[in-house]
Amino acid sequence: MIVKVCGMRNPDNIRQVDILQSVNWMGFIFWPHSKRFASEFPEYMPIHTKRVGVFVDEDIEQVKRIADDYALDLIQLHGHESPDYCQQLREWEIIKAFNIATPSDLESTKPYEGIADYFLFDTKGKSVGGNGEKFDWNVLNHYNGDTPFLLSGGIGPDDAERIKALFALDGFPIDKCIGIDLNSGFETAPAMKDTALLRSFLSQLTH
């Protein structure tokens, strides 16, 4: 299972999370309206985990510049970016995020099949992301696409057993759910992750 820890900014905190063995991807948010906006280049960038840049309806040339400057491995698009927009960024692996509340919301993924490398399913809320709330994960029983996805939306320290139970449910597309996205549920303050909580959660998830 891919574990992505998103919304990083503080150099020391980045270093602490980077050495956690079960963390595979680390996300940096380049949307100025986010409380976790990575406004400055950190003194330390991850070397053990892949780097993910999160953008929301950003100018495509600006996305490319930031992706080069930060040596990003993946680009996550969390706005209304079109399939053509995604196609122009194929130099990087692409995560296309969708805000989900009902089965009908999954229909919006279809134009991105074969273009995005991964989908990310987040909670439909007031903000485009980082709402800290879960959606009804049973909705994903209706997902029949071919693109693998990450589960996001308010996952917290007490959810390890719930996630493991989800994978045991009849009808859940376990072959397509290849990871989870962790953010506000593990913070002591915006963009500051509690590494002890992360370590404990990841231990429960894998045992």
pLDDT tens profile 61-72: 999 999 999 999
Is the pLDDT at 79 greater than 70, yes or no? yes
Contact status, residue 136 vs residue 100, Cβ threshold 8 Å: no
Q: Give the residue carrying structure tokens 């993924």.
A: 109
Going along the chain from its start, the domains and CATH numbers come out as: 2-205 (3.20.20.70)
Percentage of residues of the chain with pLDDT beyond 70: 96
Is the pLDDT at 131 greater than 60, yes or no? no
pLDDT mean over 163-179: 90
φ, ψ for residue 95 (rounded to 5)?
-110, 120
φ, ψ for residue 36 (rounded to 5)?
-110, 25
Is the pLDDT at 83 greater than 60, yes or no? yes
Q: What radius of gyration do the chain's Cα atoms show?
A: 16
Percentage of residues of the chain with pLDDT beyond 90: 86
What rounded mean pLDDT belongs to the chain?
94
What's the pLDDT at 133? 73
What's the pLDDT at 88? 97
What's the pLDDT at 47? 97
Contact status, residue 55 vs residue 76, Cβ threshold 8 Å: yes
Is the pLDDT at 78 greater than 60, yes or no? yes
How far apart, in whole angstroms, are the C-alpha atoms of residue 73 and residue 172?
29
Q: Within its chain, how far is the Cα of 39 from the centroid? A: 19
Cα 192 to Cα 7, 36, 100, 153, 171: the distances in Å are 8, 9, 26, 17, 36
What's the pLDDT at 64? 98
What's the pLDDT at 167? 84
> Which range, of 74-78, 109-113, 121-125, averages the lowest pLDDT?
121-125
Q: Within its chain, how far is the Cα of 147 from the centroid? A: 15
Select the more confidently predicted residue: 133 or 158: 158
